[in-house]
Amino acid sequence: MLGIDSFPRSIKQIQLLCLVPAAQKLALMFLLAAVTYGVTGIGAMLLMTLLANTHLGKDGAGKHGISIAESSRLGGVAIGIIVIVYIAGLSLMSPYTSGPERDVTFLYLWSAVLFCCLLGLAEDVKPDFLTPKLRLGAKFAVLGALFWLSPALIPLTVGVPAVDFLLNLPVLGWVLVTVFAVGFINALNMADGANGLVPGIALASFAVFFMEYGRPMDGALMFACSIFFIFNVISGWYFLGDTGSYGLGAILLGYGLLGVADGNFSAGFMAALFCYPCVDFMVSVIRRFRAGRSPFAADNGHLHNRLHQLIRLRVRSSVMANSFTGVIISVSTSGAVLLIYVVGLLPPDSDLWHIAFVVECSIYLASLKYLTSIQPKTQYADVG
Amino acid sequence: MRVILYFIAAIGLIWVGVLESASSSVEDFKRYSDAHVLDHGHGSIQRVLAVGLVGDLVVSKIISDGRDTVIIEGNEEFSLPIPVLSESAGISR
């Protein structure tokens, strides 16, 4: 039992705790989780906090993207646990039948997602456990099998006549989509270098899918990504890791392709929604080729690295500079597409979305050119 | 040991949202099949506490879209009213 004297002491301890920045961040994260998702949000936030503090999957300071603090790579694991608990519970206690039980296409898709998650998990738990070539080969094998078994995922028209012609050729269409799919997952993994960047893109995308289809799976993914986004942006203690970026990449890829194949979304809409990771990947590969380096070697020449350099000079907190970078990019690309979709300015199946994609690409290239011109050349980030 | 308890507590709290979503969904189907009354339970204090302000919108959308899905797919098994449950829940036909 607590004595009467211990109460003022406890209050003083709480007051002292409130002055600790980590405690302030935790309080803010839990408050936002409670307001947005109630008791469930608090539970998800507690789970993420616990996983972030385990020794498993720890990244040393400066090892991940532009982060300079020690952090955990188990963000994808946390998202996975939350989604599994939610969907399993809903399947058991309500008339909801999950996609893999309903439709064989979803069964194959989720099997591929699971495989991609396991591939990433091996890397998160034990870095360099698998060689890059083996990982790339495994992704080609799994995604190739997915599109071979589920040709319904291959869109037959994307609004570009030459591409449409190639996609309609049986084997070539399959090869093209498999190469694109592996590139997309790698692009999302490569872009996961700033707080809130990939989680923000994933959150906006799942919000679009949820509003369009209303599937509980999309709702659960949106919920888990929202909590992760809050945690990632405020604290910077967490990253998606390879589990998260491979897993979310595979889900977004599958849902995106299915949406285009079914005619609910235009290819231009998906290109605009996922503009940043795709364009950044292409530009990075070209940049490295021109510099005579391996196209897959990590460097600091991404737009988010350049933007971070600029923001870091103006913001004192390193975590906030990192988070501002990620949030600015995700909000101005996928967030803008979400806003246009919600407002109803353009229908999602309109081919005018190609114009939005071209505008995004132009802004990307102009920003990269400007930031490169005002910043000194680094060891890696040299644009030819 | 304490960490395991915290993990259990975290899963338990998430389960509150699962229960709220599932029970709202089941209740909605009963009401709909019994009386064809559209009642979302939208914004009730219990649900807002369980799933929050954004979660409330998510659950409402899942319920309304799920109802359409079941009806479109002709899932008569679930749509059939259970008289005993309907009476005990105080739902008039």
Interface mutation target, options A35, A94, A223, A225, chain B, most CBs of B under 10 Å: A94
Q: To the nearest whole number, what is the mean pLDDT of chain B? A: 69
In a domain, A337, yes or no: yes
Q: How confident is the model at residue B93 (pLDDT cuts 50, 70, 90)?
A: very low
B86 pLDDT higher than 50: no
Q: Which of B29, B55, B66 sits opposite A40 (nearest CB)?
A: B55
How far is the alpha carbon of B93 from chain A, nearest alpha carbon, in Å? 22
The predicted structure's pLDDT at residue A319: 86
What does the pLDDT average to over B25-51? 66
**Are A96 and B25 an interchain contact pair (Cβ–Cβ within 8 Å)?**
yes
B9 pLDDT higher than 90: yes
The predicted structure's pLDDT at residue A277: 94
Residue of chain A nearest B55, judged by CA positions: A37
| B50 inside 8 A of chain A by CB | yes
**Are A43 and B16 an interchain contact pair (Cβ–Cβ within 8 Å)?**
yes
Q: Which of B17, B23, B66 sits opposite A40 (nearest CB)?
A: B17
In a domain, A34, yes or no: yes
Q: In this predicted model, what pLDDT tens digit does every residue of B39-71 receive, in sequence order?
A: 555 568 888 898 899 999 988 888 877 655 555
Residue of chain B nearest A82, judged by CA positions: B14
% residues pLDDT > 90 (chain B): 15
| B37 inside 8 A of chain A by CB | no
The predicted structure's pLDDT at residue A124: 85
Each domain of chain B, given as residue ranges in start order, spans 15-88
Residues A230, A84: Cα–Cα separation, whole Å: 20
How far is the alpha carbon of A274 from chain B, nearest alpha carbon, in Å? 23
The predicted structure's pLDDT at residue A273: 96
User: Which residues span the domain enclosing A268?
Assistant: 23-374
**Are B7 and A50 an interchain contact pair (Cβ–Cβ within 8 Å)?**
yes
How far is the alpha carbon of B68 from chain A, nearest alpha carbon, in Å? 10
How many independent structural domains does chain A possess? 1
In a domain, A383, yes or no: no
In a domain, A37, yes or no: yes
In a domain, A176, yes or no: yes
**Are B13 and A96 an interchain contact pair (Cβ–Cβ within 8 Å)?**
no
Q: Which of A37, A89, A222 sits opposite B51 (nearest CB)?
A: A37
The predicted structure's pLDDT at residue A101: 81
**Interface residues on A facing B, Cβ-Cβ cutoff 8 A:** 33-44, 46-47, 50, 54, 82, 85-86, 89-90, 92-96, 210-211, 213-216, 219, 222-223, 226
Interface mutation target, options A37, A83, A226, chain B, most CBs of B under 10 Å: A37
Would you give per-residue pLDDT tens digits along chain A (384 residues)?
445 555 556 666 656 655 667 888 899 999 999 999 999 999 999 999 998 888 776 666 555 555 556 678 888 999 999 999 999 998 888 877 788 887 899 999 999 999 999 999 998 888 878 888 899 999 999 999 999 999 999 998 888 888 888 888 878 999 999 999 999 999 999 888 788 899 999 999 999 999 998 888 999 999 999 999 999 999 888 888 899 999 999 999 999 999 999 999 999 999 999 999 999 999 999 988 888 888 777 788 899 999 998 998 888 888 889 999 999 999 999 999 999 999 999 999 999 999 999 999 999 999 999 998 887 665 444 443
| B79 inside 8 A of chain A by CB | no
Q: In this predicted model, what pLDDT tens digit does every residue of A199-246 receive, in sequence order?
A: 999 999 999 999 998 888 999 999 999 999 999 999 888 888 899 999
The predicted structure's pLDDT at residue B92: 36
The predicted structure's pLDDT at residue B68: 57
Whether the predicted interface score ipTM is above 0.90: no
In a domain, A3, yes or no: no
A78 neighbourhood in chain B, CB within 8 Å: none
**Are B14 and A86 an interchain contact pair (Cβ–Cβ within 8 Å)?**
yes
Global pTM value: 0.86
